[in-house]
Amino acid sequence: MVLKANKPKRRSAQDRLSDAATSLCSAALAMNLLMVIALLAVLGYNGLSYFWQRPLVEMHLAGSEVVLGEIHERKPTVDAEAHRVRIKTGNRDVTGSDFRWIDERDIESKSRPESAMVFERMEYGNFYGTIDSLHREDETLVHGDQAWPALQRMLKQKRGEKKSIHRLEKREMGKLNHRIERLRIGILRSDDPGLREQKRVLEAEFEELSQQLFSLRDTYAAEYLVMKTGDGIDHRVPVGDIVRAIPANRQSVLDKAGLYVSRVVEFVVDDPRESNTEGGIFPALFGTVMMVFIMSFAVAPLGVLAALYLREYAKQGLLVRIVRVAVNNLAGVPSIVYGVFGLGFFVYFIGDGIDRMFFSEVLPTPTWGTGGILWGSLTLALLTVPVVIVATEEGLAAVPRIVREGSLALGATKFETTWRVVLPASAPGILTGMILAMSRAAGEVAPLMIVGMVKLAPSLPIDGNYPFVHLERKFMHLGFHIYDVGFQSPNVEAAKPLVFATALLLIVVVTFMNLGAIAVRNRLRRKYATSAV
Amino acid sequence: MKPESFRTPRRRLLSDRIARGLVSGGGMATIAGILGILFFIFIEILPLFGSADVALTARFPLDGEEPGAVVVDEHRTHAATFAADGQIVVRSLATGDVTHRLDSGIDPTLGPWKRIQQIPGEPRVAIETAGGDLFALTMDWTIEFDEATRVITPDLSRAVPFDFFDEETARIPLQQFSLAFDDDGAIAGAAITEDGRLLFARQSIEEDFMSGEETTVWERTWREAPGDVSSLLLDRQHTNIFAGTESGAVIWWVIDDGEPQEPRTAENEAPITAMTFLIGDQSLITGDVTGRLGVWFPVPSEGGGDRLGRIRGSTQQKAPIVGLSPSPRDKGVLSVDASGGMALYYSTSNRLLWSGNSPVGASSVLYYAPKANGAIVAGADELALLDIDNPHPEIGWNALFGRVWYEGYDQPERVWQSTGGTDVFEPKLSLTPLIVGTFKGTFYSLILAIPLAVLGAMYTSQFMHPRLRRTVKPTVELMAALPSVVLGFLAGLWLAPRLEMVLPALVAMLVIVPAFVLLAGVGWRSLPNGYRHRFPDGFEALLQLFVIAIAMFVAFRLNGVFEAQVFAGDVRQWLFDTTGLRYDQRNAIVVGLAMGFAVIPIIFSIAEDAFSNVPQNLVSGSLALGANRWQTVTRVVLPTASPGIFSAIMIGFGRAIGETMIVLMATGNTPLMDWSPFNGFRTLSANIAVEIPEAPHSGTLYRVLFLAAALLFVFTFVANTGAELIRQRLRKRYAQL
Nearest CA in chain A to B711: A337
User: Is B560's CB within 8 Å of A80's CB?
Assistant: yes
The reply to whether B33 falls in a domain is: no
Query: Which pLDDT tens digit goes with each residue over B191-227?
Result: 998 888 888 988 887 777 887 777 778 888 888 888 7
Residue closest to A354 by CA, chosen among A370, A339, A343, A377:
A370
Percent of chain B surpassing pLDDT 90: 22
Picking from B348, B376, B394, the residue at the C-terminal end of a domain is B394
Q: Each residue of B591-613: pLDDT tens digit?
A: 999 999 999 998 998 898 888 88
What is the distance between the alpha carbons of residues A310 and A314, in angstroms, rounded to a whole number?
5
Kindly indicate the confidence band of residue A2, based on its pLDDT and cuts at 50, 70 and 90. Answer: low
Residues B151, B291: one domain? Answer: yes
- The DSSP element (H or E) to which B586 belongs, if any, is none
Check whether residue B157 and residue B265 sit in a common domain: yes
Element at B202 (helix H, strand E): strand B197-207
Q: Cβ A302–B26 below 8 Å, yes or no?
A: yes
CATH (domain of B379): 2.130.10.10
Q: Is A454 on the interface with B (CB under 8 A)?
A: no
Strand-pair partners of B546: none
Residue A416 in contact with partner chain B when CB distance is under 8 A: yes
Residue A506 contacts B, CB cutoff 8 Å: yes
Same domain, yes or no: B438 and B376: no
Domain edge (last residue) among B369, B394, B419: B394
Same-domain status, B453 and B386 = no
The pLDDT score that the predictor gives to residue B343 is 92
pLDDT, position B452: 92
Helices (H), B587-628: 588-612, 616-624
Within-domain flag for B483:
yes
Rounded to whole angstroms, the Cα distance separating B381 from B582 reads 66
Q: What is the pLDDT of residues B414-426, one digit of tens each?
A: 989 888 777 778 8
- Selecting from A332, A480, A503 the residue whose C-beta is nearest the C-beta of B654 gives A332
Q: Does the distance separating the beta carbons of B521 and A19 come in below 8 Å?
A: yes
Which value, to the nearest 10 degrees, does the dihedral of the CA atoms of residues A432, A288, B666, B487 take? -40
Mean pLDDT score across all residues of chain B: 86
Are residues B613 and B514 part of one domain?
yes
Residue B527: is its pLDDT beyond 80?
no
Confidence of residue A409 (pLDDT cuts 50, 70, 90): very high
Q: Does A505 touch chain B (CB under 8 A)?
A: no
Examine the domain organization and report whether B341 and B466 are in the same domain.
no
Residue A126: predicted pLDDT: 87
- What is the interface size between A and B, counted as CB pairs within 8 Å? 305
Cβ contact A327–B518 (<8 Å) = no
Q: Kindly state whether residues B357 and B502 are assigned to the same domain.
A: no
Res. B264: pLDDT tops 70:
yes
- B27 within some domain: no
Å from A118 to nearest chain B CA? 27
Chain-chain contact of B716 with A15 (C-beta, under 8 angstroms): no
Which chain B residue has its CA at the smallest distance from A306's CA? Answer: B27
Transcribe B482-535 into DSSP letters: S-HHHHHHIIIIIIHHHHHHTHHHHHHHHHHHHHHHHHHHHHHHHS-HHHHTTS
Rounded to an integer, what distance in angstroms lies between the CA atom of residue B75 and that of residue A427?
A: 63
Instruction: Kindly tell me if the per-residue pLDDT of B703 is higher than 90.
Output: yes
DSSP 8-state symbol, B105: -
Give A339's contacts in chain B (Cβ within 8 Å): 688-689
B645: closest CA among B598, B613, B622, B597? Answer: B613
CA distance B631 to chain A (A): 7
CA-nearest residue of chain A to B602?
Answer: A332
CA distance A251 to A155: 18
CA B523, B526, B532, B533 dihedral sign is positive
Which of B33, B34, B693 is the closest to A450 by Cβ?
Answer: B693
Pair B159, B307 in one domain: yes
pLDDT at A7: 58
B489 to A443: CB separation less than 8 angstroms, yes or no = no
Examine residue B563 and state whether it is found in any structural domain, yes or no: yes
Strand, helix or coil for residue B282: coil
A409 touches chain B (CB under 8 A): no
Q: Are residues B527 and B386 in the same domain?
A: no
Which chain A residue shows the shortest CA-CA distance from B654?
A: A332
**Is A512 an 8 Å CB contact of chain B?**
no
Q: What is the CATH number of the domain that holds B664?
A: 1.10.3720.10
Neighboring chain B residues of A327 at a CB cutoff of 8 Å: 31, 34
Q: What's the pTM value of the predicted model, to 2 decimals? A: 0.86
Out of A317-331, B292-306, B450-464, least confident range? A317-331
How close B476 comes to chain A (CA, Å)?
8
Residue B645 lies in a domain: yes
> Would you state the pLDDT for residue B396?
85
Q: Is A25 on the interface with B (CB under 8 A)?
A: yes
How far is residue B439's CA from residue B653's CA, in Å, rounded to a whole number? 10
- On whether the CB atoms of residues B221 and B200 are closer than 8 A, the answer is yes
Q: Residue B481 and residue A510: Cβ atoms within 8 Å?
A: yes
- Kindly state whether residue B202 falls inside one of the protein's structural domains: no
Residue B655 distance to chain A (closest CA, Å): 7
Q: Check: CB of residue B386 under 8 Å from CB of residue B376.
A: yes
Tens digit of each residue's pLDDT (9 = 90 or more) over B21-73:
888 888 788 778 777 888 898 899 998 888 888 999 888 888 777 888 999 99
Helices (H) and strands (E) in chain B, counts: 18, 32
For residue A504, what pLDDT band results from cuts at 50, 70 and 90?
Answer: very high
- Which residues in chain B have their CB less than 8 angstroms from residue A487's CB? 492-493, 665
- Which of B550, B630, B687, B716 is the best residue to mutate to test the A interface, defined by the most A CB atoms within 10 Å of its own CB? B630
Give a yes or no: residue B194 inside a domain.
no
- In terms of domains, do B525 and B377 share one? no
Q: pLDDT of B636-693, one tens digit each?
A: 898 888 888 888 898 899 889 988 999 988 887 888 888 888 888 999 999 999 898 8
Whether residue B483 is preceded by a cis peptide bond, meaning omega within 30 degrees of 0, is no
Is B19 within 8 Å of A418 when comparing Cβ atoms? yes
Q: Both B338 and B481 in a single domain? A: no
Give how many domains chain B has, as a whole number.
2
d(CA A309, CA B509): 54
Collapsed DSSP state (helix, strand, coil) of residue B161? strand
Strands B332-337 and B341-346: antiparallel
- The reply to whether B722 and B638 lie within a common domain is yes
Nearest-by-Cβ selection for B712 from A334, A386, A480: A334
pLDDT in tens, A200-216: 888 888 898 889 888 88
pLDDT over threshold 60, residue B737: no
Domain span at residue B251?
53-174+242-394
**Binary contact (A32, B453; C-beta < 8 A):** yes
Residue ending a domain, among B366, B394, B422, is B394
For residues B658 and B716, what is the distance between their CA atoms, to the nearest angstrom?
Answer: 8
Average pLDDT over residues A40-65: 88
B47: in domain: no
